Structure 1
Amino acid sequence: MTSTRPETGFPPDPTIDLQGSPNLIGPRLPIPHLGITPDAKRPAWFIGGVFLAQFGLFVALLGPATVSIALKAQTLASSPAEQAAITALALSPGAIAAVIFNALGGRISDRTTSRFGRRRPWIIGGIVAMSLALLLIATATGPLTMGIGWFLAQACANMAFAAFLASVSDQLPSEQYGKTSGIIGIAQNVGIMVATWLAAFLESNMLLLFMVPAVLGAVLMAVYALMLPEPVLKENRHPFNLRELISTFWTNPIRFPDFGLAWWGRFLIILASYLFVVFRVQYMTDHLGLPTAEATKAVATGVTIYTIVSMFASFFAGWLSDRIGKRKVIVAGAILVFGIGTYMLLHADTVTAFYLCEAVMGLAYGAYVAVDLALVLDVLPDRENAGKDLGVFNMANALPQSLAGGLGGFLLARIGGGTDFTALLVAALVSAVIGAVITMLIRGVK
């Protein structure tokens, strides 16, 4: 890599500013050449910034998705069925935002000509706008306003996340994919844990419940954005017409079958996870019979167990993947074990049994996230437009998070009467089993 000219063997490109946009935090780092996999490792402090950015985003965004919106729904309705319906109504519009703005955010950041780089403006702008949308949810007086706020929050967060994940692809050599993937997975789970504990302590104050995580996320994402040494485009290389706009939301799975299979594997495990996660608080109150205050604290303890186990699993799985040079077997096995963990929840009748299920799911998900991102980076169709392809892949991460609210709400409210979780958790198991089978069909990665 170099900060002043392309690497030896690459002719000068008039569309690229050779000076680039240097990082503003930390020792000066070399700027990667556009579209070329870097050949030098990033230092540990930069990888720490990746951790902080992922942690901050997930504290801010997944707190509402996993706990806060369900708690907000409890302030608007008294019956379990009404609360499930309000949660589903509030979360469902986010699915549309996830589909549109994850891929669109990646494509736009690929082509941004700002003197501050391609990714940095969208990371900072997206996370600040997401915080304002969460403020709208916190002050909402009905499910419609909550739904609008969640749509906007998902739109802005996905713009930021698409640019963030593309920046990871821009900055790292392939030999850092596995370990960094594991670190990102740990940050995700730690973020959910911290968001859950914040919800347990702030559940009586809706404004603080939403805004404390939002401000924390905005600060940490901005810090990472200022750590980026960015290549700068002076002009777009490709026209942005209707055909290009439509292609933003599509990577041909026939032409790139491994990428398509990895997409569906991610979609199905996230769907399996969030079919339970969105209704975790209600599971504790209606399946285990805990009061709301005790339920939120038990959920926080369960998530802590999940996170600690997943951290060890992530470290080990990431190391093992790099050591043996295999990814898909670990990913598929982890998805299958996760599905079994969700099914075990049906037979949990004590808080201790719930904690055991959380440990099994944490073990599986920690191993999964440690290796899956590395697998995806290995099968990217086009490195120069990594933002676009990763944006499409991010749809498999964000879309089921929002769809789970509507699907889970239907299964719980319509089939389970608001209190029977059988249909919900069986659906999660089936989703995970299919995801494991699909992942094993990938051919380009061992």
Structure 2
Amino acid sequence: MGEGTPQCGLNRIRRSAPLSDRAVSGLQSRRFLLLYALAAAGGSASYAPFLTLLLPVRAGVIWQGDALQVLAYAAFAGACAASAANILFGWISDRSSRRKEWIVAGALLSSVLLVGMQYITSIAGLLVMIVLWQTAVNMMLAPLGAWAGDCVPDSQKGTLGGLLSAAPAVGAMVGAVVTIPGLAGADTRLVMVAVIVLGLVLPVVFFGNPAPMPELMKPKKELRVEVVTGPGTTGRKARGSAVGRMWFARLLIQIAEAALFAFLLLWLRSIDEGITDNDTARLFTTVLVISVPIAVYVGRWSDRAGRPILPLAVLSGGGAVGLVWMAMADSAAMAVSGFAVFGVLTGVFLSLHSSQTLRVLPRPQTRGRDLGVFNLTNTVPSLIMPWLALALVPVFGFQALFLLLAALAVMSCILLATMRET
């Protein structure tokens, strides 16, 4: 490969190694897929338990009445740092023709910084540490995401997306484990998370040994997903439209996801005051766990049927149905079931979308950078969502918010349904 084209995890001294049967057949090894999914789960565990559980608890203990404001500042600073760092280190891993070295560096540095959070006692110190930690986390996540594009062929991207659905569930379970009452103190929990992350991420680097996929390192001359735009559309314009539609479709769903993540407990309590934070946590975890086998089945079906986009359109439309269901809810049972529909379907959507995004990106030489731009769909909603909620909920109630989010999900469905699969 030329400069700026990452190898598929192969060290230079191993170029002459014999190809496996799967490499000859054009498929990536099952071992790499499973270890990669494990590493993706480690990526989720690297930030989810800290941001959702450990940081709020520490902020409440140290800053007490000012905890909410501190968390808001930390969330904003962290989102900005994560957005910039993901693009930066995706681009650096493209230019350096290295993925694994950056993954290891990011995993080690983010773990050290996470453990170092225990020594922070000032708001300014916390914000600086959050920015550094988010930068290190994305030093790991950006090349990790691009590495899948280097190594997993289109015929297995649905399967990969199904496996990736386990990542959020694992992140949630790690948070549940380290916060078991009496298991560990606040500082020890940080160490536990850091050790777990390293144990999940590093095996794919040292033992994944992916088969080389040189065809994945060539710019695509033809897209397997084209936008239905009528006669006379050039291949370049169709390709650009496909990338843009995939980006906006994910952004719209992520806005809805971010709103539900932030306000689910408040909404449920507005319907039934007896619902506790533990009930909400168990509901989140249950939805994530249920999503995994569904995503695996749908992902494998999309590979066999050669229909990578159809499931995404159906799932986003189903998410809109769940949101309308939630808007109509007048009992706890109806509210929970509506959220379950929305949460499961959009959880499957996000997992499959992550892998199918690799299909439409046309330039392997800028794959890491381009995925960094797609990562903005994960961070930008946290900046948009609070303003939507503040504008609608106090005046019109949660029903209006959910109906607006349902409209966004319908728009996502339309963007994807009007793409032709070839």
Question: Smaller-chain TM-score range?
Answer: 0.7 to 0.9
Q: Residues 87 and 325 of structure 1: is their aligned pair in 2 closer, same or farther, counting only changes over 3 Å? A: same
1:44 aligns with 2:25: no
Separation in 1, partners of 2:379, 2:298: 26
Deviation digits for residues 125-184 of structure 1, max 9, x if unmatched?
Answer: 112222233345555445544433332232222221111111111122222111112111
Equivalent position of 2:87 in the other structure: 103
Instruction: Assess if the C-alpha contact under 8 Å between 1:181 and 1:373 holds in 2.
Output: yes
Instruction: Assess if the C-alpha contact under 8 Å between 2:35 and 2:208 holds in 1.
Output: no
CA drift at 1:109: 0.8
Separation in 2, partners of 1:42, 1:414: 48
Deviation digits for residues 36-64 of structure 1, max 9, x if unmatched?
Answer: x9863232222110111011110221223
1:131 aligns with 2:111: yes
1:157 aligns with 2:137: yes
1:194 aligns with 2:173: yes
Instruction: Assess if the C-alpha contact under 8 Å between 1:196 and 1:300 holds in 2.
Output: no
CA drift at 1:395: 2.9
Equivalent position of 1:361 in the other structure: 342
Q: 2:409 aligns with which of 402, 425, 432?
A: 432
Aligned-pair identity (%):
22
CA drift at 1:198: 3.3
Separation in 2, partners of 1:16, 1:377: 15
Separation in 2, partners of 1:264, 1:23: 42
* Local SS of the residue matching 2:419: coil
Separation in 1, partners of 2:399, 2:311: 28
Equivalent position of 2:219 in the other structure: none
Q: How many residues align?
A: 393
Aligned runs of 1:26-425 on 2, under 5 Å?
Answer: 30=19, 40-75=26-61, 84-112=68-96, 118-141=98-121, 143-185=123-165, 187-198=166-177, 201=180, 205-229=185-209, 256-280=240-264, 288-289=272-273, 294-295=276-277, 297-342=278-323, 344-345=325-326, 352-353=333-334, 355-396=336-377, 398-400=378-380, 403-404=381-382, 406-410=383-387, 416=393, 421=398, 425=402
CA drift at 1:194: 0.8
The gaps in structure 2 that reach 5 residues or longer are 213-235
Deviation digits for residues 337-378 of structure 1, max 9, x if unmatched?
Answer: 224434544565766455423421343124314532343222
Instruction: Assess if the C-alpha contact under 8 Å between 2:32 and 2:209 holds in 1.
Output: no
CA drift at 1:228: 4.4
Q: Residues 150 and 100 of structure 1: is their aligned pair in 2 closer, same or farther, counting only changes over 3 Å? A: same
Q: Residues 141 and 21 of structure 1: is their aligned pair in 2 closer, same or farther, counting only changes over 3 Å? A: same
Instruction: Assess if the C-alpha contact under 8 Å between 1:166 and 1:386 holds in 2.
Output: yes
- Amino acid across the alignment from 2:144: F
Separation in 1, partners of 2:349, 2:325: 19
The gaps in structure 1 that reach 5 residues or longer are 1-5, 7-11, 32-36, 232-251
What is the TM-score when the length of structure 2 is the normalising length?
0.77
Separation in 2, partners of 1:266, 1:382: 20
Q: Residues 432 and 72 of structure 1: is their aligned pair in 2 closer, same or farther, counting only changes over 3 Å? A: farther
* Local SS of the residue matching 2:28: coil
* Local SS of the residue matching 1:201: coil
Instruction: Assess if the C-alpha contact under 8 Å between 2:6 and 2:150 holds in 1.
Output: no
CA drift at 1:327: 2.5
Instruction: Assess if the C-alpha contact under 8 Å between 2:328 and 2:399 holds in 1.
Output: no
Q: Which has the higher helix share?
A: 2
